[in-house]
Amino acid sequence: MLIDDFIDVRLVDIAVPDALGVNDQHWPFTATVQATGAIDPDLAFPGNSQFFTALFGVIAQGLGIETLATGRAVLTEIGTEKDMTFVIGHARTLADHAKKKQWCLYPATSAGIPVYMDDLSATDRCVKCGLCLPHCPTFTLTGNEADSPRGRISLMQWLEASPEISQGFLNHIDRCLQCGACEAMCPSKVPFGALMDTARTRLAPQHRQGFSNRLLAGIGSRVLASPRALRLAGPVLGGYRRLGLPALLGKLPGTVGRLNRLLSRKTGAGHRLARPAGNLPRLHLFPGCTGHALDRQTLYDAQQLLRARGYDAVISRETACCGALQQHIGQADRAAALARHNHTALGDDEVPVISIASGCAAHLQGYDAVDTLDASAPFSSRVSEIMAFLAEQDAATVRFDPCEEPVGVYVPCTQRNALRQSQALFDVLRWIPGLETRHINPQGGCCGAAGSYMVTQPAFSDALGDAVVERIIDSAVRTLVTTNIGCSIQLQARLRARGIEVEVIHPVTLLLRQLRSQ
Ligand code: SF4
Ligand code: SF4
């Protein structure tokens, strides 16, 4: 494979300016690209060969990729002048493909495809090898091929060929967690997540939604998209809890009872967030749609920890939901609108954006594909998940008290499969002297939270959550840390349902508790 993750490759410059004005083969030219993914330059084909360049253009066109030009590319970040051969094509976003074209670089030898697409032709890249099947949580539960990545790709291929679908078809598509486990290990680099988003967007008009889906769609479009509503949600939910309503209404069956059981958690609602300090390097701390209402403890602790490390973590009043929930339930237009809104709210000032939730961080890093603002640098380059950000800091500047209690670590799917930064979590926890971490899911797996999935797919969600709870019990820990609010809500609810007392917190909360007074 020429490039491990071609999505991390960006076009910086192109030596033939009018190359972007032709819609045909146009070679040779030299493009300069930046690569943040893992690259093995020794595997690169010599790009100065017109034969290879032309050949790869033909292959790309044969694969249905709309090819603009092929040529040589010089990678700027690997410190070598080694050429690589690329095909350049354009990707249309789902949201406004009529108005916008985005230029993408495709490594020629793997004939890559864009993050967002307006058709399902990339399903053809699946060679049906089945290597993904043992990694799929839903296939592991049911053993049904239609609940596996390979089976779902076959369903999408059916959808591409025929609009005729059944309720059973929809069920197998709906049961996908979008956990990314299949995509992370697929040797053919099938972009499963983008394909599933595309399929769900296409199916949305003919999908007769149940009550829970309609409820979530309403919340997603009205509350989560409104910064003012999100800020008000904290005090409103605080009052709701003080009246004891989640415990009372949590006894009801159905979606209302389930939502209330999930809401029965400590949130740190009373914490007063810090005002801007003014004299320290600034960061944007991204609260997402849950930070103020459901995870104020983590917001507060993250601010304090970053302040101790010499940063002023500012929380914008104008950001809304990151859009991941809307993207994954087939509302691509709304997700794109939220991307533009949040980018505007966070400005074009290159101030780093730090997310307290791995799920938001993974989605924010995908904004480049839908965002239409003219930014001086790709938005994704500003975004970090907070543990990944801390892992890049000098560990010696802040001291921590030892911790003698072992702590369980649950790595969310978004941290492992989307961000691919599981190690950062363990690296930062190692700053606490003597801390023994017990990895709850070293083999992967999903807790069944998956955004709205924990409400819309109760049976699958509970089964997956309970399997993780078994591993937490086996680990004999009294404290569990995890970097995604959805996983935290889900695991707390499943632990409560089993009558098991394990505290579930974000790792920044543990770090702040152990932070030594300087
Ligand atoms: S999605 Fe990838 S791993 Fe799974 S069957 Fe297809 S090619 Fe193989
Ligand atoms: S995203 Fe997760 S649940 Fe969906 S098919 Fe892939 S591995 Fe299975």
CATH of the domain at 507: 3.40.50
Same domain, 53 and 87: yes
Q: Tell me which H or E stretch contains 331.
A: none
Q: What is the pLDDT of residue 48?
A: 38
Distance 181 CA to ligand 2 centre (A): 6
Strands (E), 50-125: 67-75, 83-91, 102-107
Distance 180 CA to ligand 1 centre (A): 12
299 C-beta closer than 6 A to ligand 2: no
Q: Are 176 and 151 in contact (CB under 8 A)?
A: no
Same domain, 133 and 102: no
Structural domain includes residue 448: yes
Distance 470 CA to ligand 2 centre (A): 22
Ligand 2 atom at minimum distance from 183 CA: 6
Same domain, 509 and 404: yes
Last residue of some domain: 72, 107, 142? Answer: 107
CA 435 to chain centre: 28
Q: What is the pLDDT of residue 265?
A: 67
Tell me how many domains the chain contains: 3
Give the whole-angstrom CA distance, residue 458 versus residue 294.
20
136 C-beta closer than 6 A to ligand 2: yes
Structural domain includes residue 36: yes
CA 427 to chain centre: 21
- Look-up of token digits 């499943």: 494
Q: What are phi and psi of 286, to 5 degrees?
A: -90, 115
Distance 324 CA to ligand 1 centre (A): 24
Residue nearest to atom 2 of ligand 1 (CA): 186
Q: Mean pLDDT: which of 65-69, 248-252, 356-360 is highest?
A: 356-360
Give the whole-angstrom CA distance, residue 291 versus residue 492.
17
Last residue of some domain: 165, 189, 206? Answer: 206
Tokens representing 5? 């993750």
Name the residue range of residue 411's domain: 400-514
Higher-confidence position of 88 and 307: 307
Same domain, 96 and 144: no
Give the C-alpha distances (Å, rounded to integers) separating 461 from 137, 250, 410: 10, 17, 16
Q: Which residues pair with 278 in a beta bridge?
A: none
Q: What is the pLDDT of residues 105-132, one digit of tens each?
A: 443 332 222 333 456 878 888 888 889 9
Ligand 2 atom at minimum distance from 193 CA: 1
Q: At residue 477, does pLDDT exceed 90?
A: yes
Which of 126, 179, 185, when mutated, tests ligand 1's pocket best, judged by the most ligand atoms within 8 Å of its CB? Answer: 126
Compute the C-alpha angle 64/69/73, nearest 5°. 115
What is the DSSP pairing of strand 407-410 with strand 383-385? unpaired
Pocket residues for ligand 1 (CB within 6 Å)? 126-132, 149-150, 153, 182, 186, 188, 190
